Chain A
Amino acid sequence: MKTRHKRLFLVLGVVAGVSVATALVLNAFRDNLTFFITPSEVMAKSEFPERRFRIGGLVEDGSVDRDPNSTRVTFEVTDTRKNVPVTYEGILPDLFREGQGVVVEGRINSEGVFEADNVMARHDEDYMPAEAQEAIERAGHPEDEVGDYY
C-alpha cells in the first residue's frame, strides 16, 4: 500500500470516527439541544418542571388579552392540541400576533400558568408580498399551514 493511500484511509477514518462520535453525542443531548418544547410536551409531564424553560407554539387566536393600564398581557400558546396560558409583562416583539409563532421563556407556577419573562416571535419560512396574503385571505384560506411547525 502506498503512503498516500494510507493517508487517504487515515483521513477517511478520522472523518468517519468524528461523524459517529458527533452523532452519538447529539443523540444523547437531544433533549437539551432543542430550543423549546411544545404545549403537548408540557402537559404530558406528570409534574411541571421548576427550572426555567421555553415553550414554543402559536399564539391562540382570540386569546390575547392586554391590560389597558400596564404592559401586562395574557395569552395562550397552542400546538393545536394543547394550550398553555401565559402571562407576560413587558414589550412584545413587532411580529407578535395571534396565529403567529412564538417562543416564551420563564417558569410555570403552581396553578399551571406560565409566567414568561421573555417573549420572542418566531417567524415562519414563508415570504410573500402583502397583496398575495390579502388575496389568500379573501379566497378563504387563511394560513392553514399550522401543521408545518410540528
Chain B
Amino acid sequence: MTARSIPWLKFTAPPNFYVLAERLTPWLWGVAALFLVAGLYVGFFVAPPDYQQGNSYRIMFIHVPAAWMGMFLYLLMALYGAIFLIWRIKMADVMARAIAPTGALMTFLSLWTGALWGAPTWGTYWVWDARLTSTLILLFLFLGYIALHAASDDREKGGRAASLLAIIGAVNVPIIYFSVEWWYNLHQGVSVMRADGPSMAPSMLAALLLMTVAFWVYSAAIVLRRAQSETLSREARKEWAQQAACGRLTRDTRERAVAQAQQENAVSESGGQA
C-alpha cells in the first residue's frame, strides 16, 4: 500500500500530520467556541422550561452530548487501535492514545451530570441499572486503556496491548446505546434518534444539537493538539521535531523526514513477514 493509493495515508508520516493539525486546530477552536456560546445561549435563554421537570432538564445540554461523545470517541479509539494492530501505523496509535483522556473526560461528565440530574428527577444520584452501569464500565475501559498503554516500558508493546483492550471493549458501546431498549431501566428511552422523529420541542432540540457540534469540534481540536505533542515527544530526537517544537519547521526538513519515515515503514513491513 503506497501513499498514492490512498491519499490520506500521507498523514501517517508524523511531520505531515503535525503540519496538518497545526493548520486545523485554530479553526477548530474557533468553531467550537462559536457553537458553545450559541448552544448555551439557546439552551439557557431560548428553550422553555420542561412541562414536568421545570429547569433541571437543562443539564441534558451537557449530559447528552458528553454521553454521545464518550461512546463515539471509544469506537474511534478502538478503530485506530485496530488500524495500529493490523497495519502497524504508528500515527494510529498516537491518535488512539490522544483520544483516550478526552473520551474518559466526556464519559465522566455524562456520569456526573447524570447524577446531578438524577437526584432531583429520580430521587437518587445513582442506581445500578443497565444504562448507568455500562456507562461506568466505559469510563473504566478508557482508564484501563490509558493505564495499560503506560504499563509497558516498550511503547510498541504497551500500544498493542492497549489496542487489543480497546477493540474487545468496543462491544460495550452497543450495549450502552441499546440498553434502554433491551431491558427495563430507570434511565428513560431514546428521545432524539427515533424512527418517529425526536420527542422534544424544536428549541430544546436546537440547543442540544448546537452543543453536540460544539463537543465534537472541541474534541477534534483537543485530540489533534494532544496527538501533536505526543508526536513531538516520540520524535524528540529527530531534526524536524526539534524545529517544529521551536515553531521553525522548514519545508525542506519536513520532506526529508517524510522520506525517511516512509523508508522505515517499508523496512518494518518487510520485517513483519517473519
Contact = CB atoms under 8 A, between A and B. Distances in A.
Given A11-B85, A22-B175, A30 B123 contact: no
Contacts of B190: 125
Contact of B189 (A93, A100, A125): A125
A130 B51 contact: yes
A127 B167 contact: no
Interface in A123-137: 123-134
Given A127-B199, A130-B48, A93 B85 contact: no
Given A26-B175, A123-B52, A132-B51, A15 B167 contact: yes
B82 A127 contact: no
Contacts of B37: none
Interface string A118-148: 1111111111111111100000000000001
Contact of B186 (A14, A122, A130, A132): A122
B238 to A, nearest CB: 26
B51 to A, nearest CB: 4
Interface string B136-177: 000000000000000000000000000010011011000100
A35 B129 contact: yes
B164 A14 contact: yes
Range class of the A interface residue count: 35 or more
Contacts of B263: none
B101 interface: no
A35 B200 contact: no
Contacts of B129: 35
Contacts of A148: 189
A128 B122 CA distance: 18
Contacts of B260: none
B250 interface: no
Interface in B245-271: 269
Given A33-B130, A34-B183, A132-B51, A94 B167 contact: no
B201 A120 contact: no
A4 B175 contact: no
B50 A127 contact: yes
Interface string A81-119: 000000000011111100010010000000000000011
Given A130-B51, A132-B51, A19 B171 contact: yes
A127 B269 CA distance: 54
B121 A93 contact: yes
A132 B201 CA distance: 9
A91 B273 CA distance: 68
B191 A14 contact: no
Given A4-B86, A18-B168, A30-B183, A128 B272 contact: no
Given A3-B272, A123-B52, A130-B50, A37 B184 contact: yes
A35 B53 contact: no
Contacts of A127: 50, 57, 60, 191, 199-201, 204
30 contacts: A4-B86, A4-B87, A4-B269, A7-B85, A11-B85, A15-B167, A15-B170, A15-B171, A30-B183, A33-B130, A35-B130, A35-B183, A36-B186, A38-B184, A93-B121, A94-B121, A94-B123, A95-B53, A103-B186, A120-B122, A120-B127, A120-B186, A122-B186, A123-B122, A123-B188, A127-B191, A129-B49, A130-B48, A134-B51, A148-B189
Interface of A: 2-4, 7-8, 11, 14-15, 18-19, 22, 26, 30, 33-38, 56, 91-96, 100, 103, 118-134, 148
